[in-house]
Structure formats: C-alpha cells, structure tokens
Structure 1
Amino acid sequence: MSIKQTVLIIGATSGIGAGLARRIHAQGKKVIATGRRQERLSSLTAELSGLETANFDISDLSTLAGNIAGLTKKYQDIDTVIVNASIQSMFSFTDPTSSSPEDITKEVNTNLTAQMIICQTLVPHFLALEKPCSIIFISSAFAYIPVQFFPIYGPTKAGLHSFGVSLRAQLAGTNVTVTDLAPAYVDTELDVMHKERMTEMLGGSDRVPKPTPLGDFLDDAMKELDTLVDGKPKREIAIGHFPEMAREAWRKAIGPLLEIFHVDG
C-alpha cells in the first residue's frame, strides 16, 4: 500500500486533506497534520485522539525547509508524506484588477515550488530509513486538462505532475515511491468558493458539472492507494471518468517518449 505507518499530511485543515487525515487515523496509523489555520488544526485534534499537528504556511518558502526538517527530527519514523496544500484562484488576465503579481507568485509557490522544497528536504530522510516510504502528491484533473477558469492552478498542477515523473525516475530502484493522485471535481470548500462565478461564466447552473461527494472520493482514493501493481504502489491514480481519460491519453502519448529518453517515471 502507498500509505505506510507514520503519515505526514501537508495541508490537512479542510476538504481532501482533512478527510484523508480522518480515514488514515481511523486505520490506527500515526498522523501528523499540518496547515496554516491553527483553529482548524485544534478542531481536528479535539476530534481525533492522538493526532499530532504543526502550524505553518508552506507558501513561506524561507522557513519551509526548516519546518519540514524539524518534523523529521521530532517524528523520526515518518515514512509517508501526502502533499495536499494548494491554492486555486479564479481570475482573468483580461481584467488586471482581478489578481496581482503577489497573488500569482503565492499560488505558484504554494502549488509547485513548495512541493519541490518539501521533497528536497524529505527524500534524504526517506532514503536513510532504508524501508518502504511513499510520496503522494494530490494533483488534479486540471494537470491534464487546461481550463480557462483557473489559469494558474492548472499549469501548477501540470508542473507538479511533471515533477512527479522526474522524481519517480530519480528514485527508481530505491525504497521510495512516488504516487500522483488526481481527483476530479470534488465537493469541498473550493467548490463553494467558485461555484457562483463558474455558473456565471458557463451561462447557467445546468452547464456546471456536479461535484463528487467528498466521502465517495475518499472511498475510491483509499482503495486505489491500497492497490499494488507488481508489488508497488500505483504511479498515477485518477479518480473519476474524465481524469482517467486524461491520464490514459497522457500515458499513451508521452509514455513512448519517456522510454526513448530512458525515463522510468
């Protein structure tokens, strides 16, 4: 299975991250939940006995490596990281007032740059453990399917998927595996945040896709994360019809090129 025994969840204060924390905690595993909203972490701690937490914002790149290193020192048995934290903004480049250079930079840093720094800090820790370890990125269907609604979010998730392929190739033959988990449209706070604007842009609620209930997504995700292929965790997991179509199309198109370049990703 992808999820081992001591699990660090980056971005666990709501939605998918909090849902995974609850599911994994229910399996009796040690969970360390992180997030930038202390009140959410406190609420989760009150709900889940024995849960460990750490409060920091991964968009603060100057302190990120130190925060991650501190966790590996405090919890030396961390063998799984689920990187879930992300920002999803909806704006238009035709309206410069709908965003700012600072907003764009923060979204890129949170969704992509921070993930790389987290891995740069955690990979040596995992390799030193000399036992099976897992890196799980919570990606998105928009890693494969660009849309006009989220002009920064989609490209950052595409970059995260590409990074995952490269990292997986670097770690081939080691004790560390990399899994990319791409959800479809899931019913979370992000859905509530953007639903009205998306309805307006698409011209009516009947044209807006219906989100997958969070519980249904978590059922499928946990099942897929427990599934092994040739004795190893899956490299890529796409939950939902459209994400799986997109994942298969990407693999069919790019897979042969990866082989030519000897990329075991």
Structure 2
Amino acid sequence: MSKNVDTVLVIGATSGLGETFAKHFHTQGKKDMASEITTNLTATIAVAHIIIPHFLALKRPTTFMTVSSAAGFVPHGLFPVYCATKAGVHAFTCSLRAELVGKNARVLELAPPGVATDLVVSFKEQIIEAMGGPEKFAPPMSLEEYMNGVIEEFEKEGEEEGAKEVAVGFARILAGTWREALGPILESMGTSG
C-alpha cells in the first residue's frame, strides 16, 4: 500500500436500501439481508482490519472514517436491517477509536441524517404511506444542504481538536444526545468511545 495514503473513508453505502424500502422485513430475502449486512457492516470492519496496521506503521497522523447514519442512533421500523448495520458501524467505530487512543490513527464517524438522494426521493410515497401519512414524514435534508453542513463541520472540526462524530441536521441532535447520555459512562470505564 502506498505510504501516501493517510486518510480512508469507508462508505458502507445504501446498496440494500432499495430492497429494504421495497419490502417488509418479513418478506425481505435472506440474500438481500446478508448483502446489506456485508456491505454496511462487515466491509467496514474488513477495510479497517487492512488499513489500520498500515496507518499505525506510518508514524504520522492518519484518519480512518466510517459512515453510520442517524438511523444507527435511533432505529426506524421501515428498515430494521439497515438500522442494525448502521448501529453496528457506530459501535465498531467507538470501540476502534477507544482502542487507538494515543496512537497516530484517528477514527471519525460521519453520521448523515435522511438525505434527499435520488433513491430516497424515489421511495418517498412508500415511506409516507408506511409511516401513516404525510404529517409523520420528516422531509429529508437536501443533498446540497447536507454537503454544505458537512463541509462546515469539517472546517470547524479542524479548529476544535477531538471531534468523534461529524453530523449535521437531525443526526447531529441524535449523536449529541448519545454522546451526552453515554459519554460519562464511557469515561467512567476508562474510554471515551
């Protein structure tokens, strides 16, 4: 691996979301579920297993970044497997970060809210129906608003050392609430997650 690589972003992706939205859990195929788990969680862990030793050998600051989701902090009944994989990514990221404290490999978690991608927009009516009507539907953040928010957070994060989760919109509220509630417990255990 090139010694120039010092930052890796693992995008577990949303490959399984189409299947998840299109079917209820009890009708979702086992192969679809396995694919979603592999894409979102197993691949993230496998990439970390390859990259982290490389980063540690570099002896200079490096960054490993995962992508979880607001759905990993507060699960939603519309896509339980997706929520479980993103909660798993969040837990893995916290554990890996704790393991690497004091090392040159920084571990960040990018936690997006619902974003109005083409995929999400294509399932909007199905989501509204499954939620019980438009009054219960929280419109997703526009992609432009999301990207601007993430860039702003990264710029701010450069000034404020020590960020663990990079989140905007509703996801920022969820990640902040999680950190406020569990941060003291993690610290009492000798870790900051």
For normalisation by structure 1, the TM-score amounts to 0.66
Task: Name the amino acid aligned to 1:81.
Answer: V
User: Is residue 78 from structure 1 mapped to residue 10 from structure 2 by the alignment?
Assistant: no
249, 252, 256: which is aligned to 2:180? Answer: 252
149, 153, 169: which is aligned to 1:224? Answer: 153
Q: Residues 76 and 189 (structure 1 numbering): CA distance in 2 closer, same or farther, change over 3 Å?
A: farther
Instruction: Check the 8 A contact 1:177/1:233 in 2, yes or no.
Output: no
Q: Residues 232 and 175 (structure 1 numbering): CA distance in 2 closer, same or farther, change over 3 Å?
A: farther
Instruction: Check the 8 A contact 1:225/1:233 in 2, yes or no.
Output: no
Task: Name the amino acid aligned to 1:76.
Answer: K
- Looking at structure 2, the residues matched to 125 and 99 of structure 1 have their Cα atoms a distance apart, in angstroms, of 38
**Pairs within 5 Å for 1:234-253:** 234-240=163-169, 242-253=170-181
- Local SS of the residue matching 1:184: coil
**Pairs within 5 Å for 1:24-35:** none
Higher helix proportion: 2
- Local SS of the residue matching 2:38: helix
**Aligned twin of 2:192:** 264
- Local SS of the residue matching 1:131: coil
- Which string of whole-angstrom CA distances, capped at 9 and with x for unpartnered residues, describes residues 148-189 of structure 1? 011111111111111111000111111111111111111112
- Which string of whole-angstrom CA distances, capped at 9 and with x for unpartnered residues, describes residues 197-224 of structure 1? 1022123345422221111111110121
Higher Cα Rg, which structure: 1
Task: Name the amino acid aligned to 1:258.
Answer: L
- Local SS of the residue matching 2:113: coil
Instruction: Check the 8 A contact 1:226/1:233 in 2, yes or no.
Output: no
Q: Residues 208 and 172 (structure 1 numbering): CA distance in 2 closer, same or farther, change over 3 Å?
A: same
Task: Name the amino acid aligned to 2:71.
Answer: F
* Aligned-pair Cα RMSD in Å: 1.8
**Pairs within 5 Å for 1:27-176:** 72=1, 75-87=2-14, 88=17, 89-90=20-21, 91-93=23-25, 96=26, 98-176=27-105
Q: How many residues align structurally?
A: 188
- Runs of 4+ in structure 1 deviating by more than 6 angstroms, as ranges, are none
User: Is residue 184 from structure 1 mapped to residue 113 from structure 2 by the alignment?
Assistant: yes
Identity over the aligned pairs, expressed in percent? 36
For normalisation by structure 2, the TM-score amounts to 0.89
Higher strand proportion: 1
